[in-house]
Structure 1
Amino acid sequence: MSTAFQPEQYESQLAAKRERLEQLLAPFDAPGPEVFESAREHFRLRAEFRLWYENGEPHYAMFEQGDKRKPILITQLPIASRQINALMMPLLDACKADPILGRKLFQVEFLTTLSGQALITLCYHRPLDDTWDAPALALAEQLGVQLIGRSRGQKRVLQTDHVVEVLEVAGRQWQYQQIEGGFTQPNGGVNQHMLGWALNAAGSNSDDLLELYCGNGNFTLPLSTAFRRVMATELAKSSVRAAQENLRLNNMDNVTLVRLASEEVTQALTGVRPFRRLQGIDLSGFEFGTVFVDPPRAGLDPATLDLIKDYRRILYISCNPETLADNLQTLTKTHRVVRCALFDQFPYTHHMESGVLLEQM
């Protein structure tokens, strides 16, 4: 996480990102991107800090990338949520005052939500036993948070290991269980913009959606309202469990969730091989007209590119515009880019999220 914070330069930095995205998409005759800005400060809902000890006293520390020897000691972090900033020093003071909480504590991780919930993980270089529970529970109640203790091979959960986020998309509220250690979008405000854009781009459909890399169902939930049925796929077991819970929390009954990797989805849909995990699921009953992908930074593999080129529409969210452009070299042989967007998830860094809607030619 970058320590850079220069709100006076935000507009110029965002303009540079827009120019970079336009240059990458220019070979594909893409329209100008719709740009979704971030809040200038307090936009990041997650943060983790190493502790740096001077004269036996712990301090929150961050480091410039590639340099772990020169700490930047901090008491506040303007890019982090107001809730994180409010919790930082009371938590550290409590750990200083109680040797059971503070002994060999080396890292603190915060997960907060737009809905006002917070989960804090304390990481130790020592085993934790029952003596840790009582002071930790007292601290959790004092701060109004969920608290988890971690050490090597150990996770002590006092109450729950998750928070519940509430996101509003197109006037509807969605609940998301966010599990400690699981992936969540760090910028909740921009995430709502992404979900709203994807739903608007999807439009209203009488056929079905195939979603690859669904994670905890971040996009699955709102997109399910735009299609008759959805088949959503994800490989990570923890994400699948979270997605299942999120479907339950929101009473969604038109989504079929399958634990498959993207290459396995290709094999299943093309009939190359059967999967036990698909028992009871009639793939022939789906009429997929749109495919939604939100792949990792490496982009889509050749087999997945070959699979999705046969769909009428492709909705592609990318965390790496370079690999998006690389994938478009293949996809624009069969499709044209009709919409694109820039989502400034990571202000004050060079990273950006982007989205494109492609329609078959």
Structure 2
Amino acid sequence: MSGLNPAGYAQQLDEKVARLKALLAPFDAPAPDVFESPREHYRMRAEFRLWREGGQRHYAMFSPGDKRTPILIEQFPVASARINELMPQLKAAWQADEVLDHKLFQVEFLTTLTGEALITLCYHRPLDTRWEQAAHALAARLGVSLIGRSRGQRLVIGQDHVTERMTVAGRTFSYRQPEGAFTQPNAQVCGHMLNWAHEVLGQREDDLLELYCGNGNFTLPLATRVRRVLATEISKTSVAAALHNLADNAVDNVTLVRLSAEELTQALNGVREFRRLQGVDLAAYAFGTVFVDPPRAGMDPQTCELTRRFDNILYISCNPETLAANLAQLNDTHQVVRCALFDQFPYTHHMEAGVLLTRR
């Protein structure tokens, strides 16, 4: 890919550090801890459209805003070594088998640090028993799970998820990552994020409120640092994965409720009651810290006001601009005492940041 320039990585990272420092300067933030990415093979997932040229289908990507000019790809160095290993094998398979090739238009890869792989094949046609037979043989040959998708169909060969493993402070956690659900794409940088959050939270004797918990990515290690956790997530798929991950890792001090951050704010303010909170005594929690990992838009003003109630706010952000906007709202009551830059997306302008705020 044209944007991949390992020789220029250090300079680009320095520019990101400077940009983050400038964004956090109004809040007297300390110098950030900086966590680099591997230069290559850092993305655990990749998605390709297929483009027909010369009588064959090829992996293709497109520049933003241009869906007519494909960039044909044979290898994808930003993706994991496992994805790069599988790409030519899969291409050879569909080229050799009309059943696999016919009206195939998109391929998605999901892999782990240990080499587990799930491939999703998307079609503009119904999938029949002939396709299933070919897919079973292909999955066995490649050592992967396969999912076939077409309108109204989802056929699973093997498993519909992979299991990632992350080691935090010497303990290894397993994470079920379902097809189609959000996961951190850069697994090695994700490991840095988990260890940093675990460290700055510290060992505590009170409780943690977590908003936007996803599949329990941060929940599992942070739960080992506090008495109890109340975690919220709105996505049913992510909630199901988080519940599995809590059970699989024998983490038993977490209560997970399917609420949005806005709904939880309403519940804590006594504005609304939710059946999904039946049996949960909010008043029994002694929250010392709130942990948030919001979407790119950041926290809405009401949720931001909610976090102000807590002595400690641990905030992971995928958009430092909206992080800065939220910090401006919190700056009169809280100060930034730790911050970090996580280079989740090298060779792009995107970066992840973390801050710990304490009450002034």
SS at match of 2:66: coil
Q: Gaps (5+ residues) in structure 2? A: none
The match for 1:221 is: 220
* 1:68-117 deviation per Cα after TM superposition (whole angstroms, max 9, x unaligned): 22211111111110000000011011011111111010111000001221
The match for 2:66 is: 67
Alpha-carbon contact 1:212-1:232 (below 8 Å) kept: yes
Alpha-carbon contact 1:38-1:189 (below 8 Å) kept: yes
The match for 1:323 is: 322
Distance in 2, matches of 1:3 and 1:153, equals 37
Which amino acid counterpart does residue 301 of structure 1 have in structure 2?
Answer: D
The match for 2:293 is: 294
Distance in 2, matches of 1:115 and 1:46, equals 13
Deviation at 1:271, TM superposition (A): 1.6
Q: Gaps (5+ residues) in structure 1? A: none
Which amino acid counterpart does residue 26 of structure 1 have in structure 2?
Answer: A
Distance in 2, matches of 1:333 and 1:153, equals 52
Which amino acid counterpart does residue 108 of structure 1 have in structure 2?
Answer: V
SS at match of 1:251: coil
SS at match of 2:224: helix
SS at match of 1:192: helix
The match for 1:53 is: 52
Distance in 2, matches of 1:62 and 1:279, equals 47
The match for 1:311 is: 310
Alpha-carbon contact 1:210-1:231 (below 8 Å) kept: yes
Deviation at 1:64, TM superposition (A): 1.5
Distance in 2, matches of 1:3 and 1:205, equals 47
Distance in 1, matches of 2:16 and 2:351, equals 7
SS at match of 2:132: helix
Which amino acid counterpart does residue 315 of structure 2 have in structure 1?
Answer: Y
Q: Percent identity at matched positions?
A: 65
* 1:198-242 deviation per Cα after TM superposition (whole angstroms, max 9, x unaligned): 000100100000000000000000000000000000001110000
Distance in 1, matches of 2:183 and 2:105, equals 23
The match for 1:155 is: 154
Which amino acid counterpart does residue 330 of structure 2 have in structure 1?
Answer: L
SS at match of 1:358: strand
Distance in 1, matches of 2:141 and 2:228, equals 45
The match for 2:119 is: 120
Q: Give the structure-1-normalised TM-score.
A: 0.98
Which amino acid counterpart does residue 213 of structure 1 have in structure 2?
Answer: Y
Distance in 2, matches of 1:9 and 1:169, equals 30
Distance in 2, matches of 1:312 and 1:155, equals 46
Which amino acid counterpart does residue 175 of structure 1 have in structure 2?
Answer: S
* 1:257-300 deviation per Cα after TM superposition (whole angstroms, max 9, x unaligned): 00001011111112222110011111111110000000001111
The match for 1:195 is: 194
Deviation at 1:3, TM superposition (A): 5.3
Distance in 2, matches of 1:274 and 1:65, equals 43
SS at match of 1:226: coil
Which amino acid counterpart does residue 189 of structure 2 have in structure 1?
Answer: V
SS at match of 2:255: strand
Deviation at 1:139, TM superposition (A): 0.3
> Following superposition of structure 1 onto structure 2, how do residues 74-153 of structure 1 map, counting pairs within 5 Å?
74-153=73-152
Distance in 1, matches of 2:354 and 2:61, equals 31
CA-atom RMSD, angstroms?
Answer: 0.9
Do residues 353 (structure 1) and 352 (structure 2) align? yes
Alpha-carbon contact 1:3-1:64 (below 8 Å) kept: no
SS at match of 1:176: strand
Do residues 266 (structure 1) and 270 (structure 2) align? no
Distance in 1, matches of 2:340 and 2:152, equals 42
Deviation at 1:151, TM superposition (A): 1.0
Alpha-carbon contact 1:297-1:320 (below 8 Å) kept: yes
Deviation at 1:56, TM superposition (A): 1.9
The match for 2:331 is: 332
Distance in 2, matches of 1:235 and 1:70, equals 37
SS at match of 1:136: helix
> Following superposition of structure 1 onto structure 2, how do residues 169-188 of structure 1 map, counting pairs within 5 Å?
169-188=168-187
> Following superposition of structure 1 onto structure 2, how do residues 34-45 of structure 1 map, counting pairs within 5 Å?
34-45=33-44
* 1:301-350 deviation per Cα after TM superposition (whole angstroms, max 9, x unaligned): 11111111010000000000000000000111100000000000000000
Distance in 1, matches of 2:332 and 2:40, equals 41
SS at match of 2:327: helix
Distance in 2, matches of 1:58 and 1:319, equals 35
Distance in 1, matches of 2:129 and 2:166, equals 37
Task: List structure 1 runs of 4+ shifted beyond 4 angstroms.
Answer: none
My pick for the range that moved more, 56-65 or 201-210, is: 56-65
Alpha-carbon contact 1:3-1:62 (below 8 Å) kept: no
Distance in 1, matches of 2:100 and 2:224, equals 46
SS at match of 2:141: helix
Which amino acid counterpart does residue 313 of structure 2 have in structure 1?
Answer: I
